[in-house]
Amino acid sequence: VRSRVGAELMRIIVVDDHESVRKILAAILSAYGLEVIAVCANGREAVDIVRDLRPDAVVMDVRMPVLDGIAATRAIKGASPETRVVLLTAYEEDDLRTAALAAGADDFVLKGVSGNELAAVVRRHSPWEADVA
Amino acid sequence: MKPLPLTSDGASAEPRIFHHAKRIDHQYEMSKTAAATSSSPSGDRRYGAVAGDVAGLVHQIRNPLFAILGHVELALRDAEPGSPTEEHMRIIQRTGLEIKDILRGLLHDSQEATTGAQPRRS
């Protein structure tokens, strides 16, 4: 657990192949006090950027072209184990949840959640959670 | 009040998603009948495949709906309490949530149809 310095915000990367979803995810997370440092359109881009930026968390869609969210989670956890991964999906399938958690995802959220709820889930994985509590 | 045309081509031109939905609905009804009147595996497979199409369509709609509801949520944070804008936003939000419920029901029905026609995946 890192120590919190001043008003440092959780640094987030948003990953979704739908532009409208990318934009609203970034807007919502920013509005609820998280810092979105990059947005990506697929898992491959996300893995590359995570290596460079070492974000606190990645909020990522599951079904994407090039590299899907499950495979990307595995790669991200290999490259940056401290980065938390919250997978976001429109699919309510138990198999998908099981695969996501097996790949190392820290949370699995349906796209039906409100922005407030999503931000709360992401914040739960803050590296400063222990300090805040 | 005259209804607004759905597209610039007028009433005869429907958005592509409506055609897609109608096609799936037609296939769904046909395959449901086939599955009900026949115990053949091909009828069951077709029923399951159409149910899969319905599920795919539901998921396609969920992405833009998620974006709409997200923007409304943010707009409501900025709207002046009691203002007409806030009221409009609340109506959009309620309507969006109704669509979300409809999609959930549709997905539930299609999943039941799939599991009813085919063995559940382990």
ipTM for the predicted complex: 0.78
Please give the pLDDT value at position B45. 57
Give the residue numbers in A contacting B (CB under 8 Å), as ranges.
18, 20-21, 23-25, 27-28, 31, 63, 90-92, 95, 111-112, 114-116
pLDDT digits 0-9 by tens, A111-132: 888 899 999 999 998 887 654 4
Residue type, A77: K
Please give the pLDDT value at position A52. 94
pLDDT digits 0-9 by tens, B55-114: 888 888 988 999 999 999 999 999 999 999 999 999 999 999 999 999 988 888 887 776
* Distance, CA of B65 to CA of A101 (rounded, Å): 26
pLDDT digits 0-9 by tens, B40-55: 555 555 555 666 678 8
More confident residue, B58 or A58: A58
Name which of B25, B115, B45 is nearest A93 in CA terms: B115
Confidence bin at B23 (pLDDT 50/70/90): low
* Distance, CA of A106 to CA of A54 (rounded, Å): 16
Are A92 and B107 an interchain contact pair (Cβ–Cβ within 8 Å)? yes
pLDDT at A105 over 70: yes
Please give the pLDDT value at position A7. 53
pLDDT digits 0-9 by tens, A4-52: 444 568 999 999 999 999 999 999 999 999 999 999 999 999 999 999 9
* Distance, CA of A60 to CA of A16 (rounded, Å): 6
Q: Is B58:B106 a contact under the CB 8 Å cutoff? A: yes
Going from the C-alpha of A94 to that of each of A25, A89, A91, A99, the distances in angstroms are 24, 12, 9, 9
pLDDT at B7 over 50: no
Residues with Cβ within 8 Å of residue A112, at least 6 apart in sequence: B62, B66, B100, B104
Mean pLDDT of chain A: 88
Are A111 and B71 an interchain contact pair (Cβ–Cβ within 8 Å)? no
Are B71 and A27 an interchain contact pair (Cβ–Cβ within 8 Å)? yes
* Distance, CA of B62 to CA of B60 (rounded, Å): 6
Nearest CB among B71, B73, B100 relative to A112 is that of: B100
More confident residue, B114 or B122: B114
* Distance, CA of A33 to CA of A84 (rounded, Å): 17
Taking the CA of residue B34 and the nearest CA in chain A, the distance in Å comes to: 27
Residue type, B11: A
E-state strands within chain B: none
Q: Is B105 buried (19+), middle (13-18) or exposed (0-12) by CB count in 10 A?
A: exposed
Q: Strand A57-61's sheet: what is its strand order? A: A35-40, A11-15, A57-61, A84-89, A107-110
Q: Is A65 buried (19+), middle (13-18) or exposed (0-12) by CB count in 10 A?
A: exposed
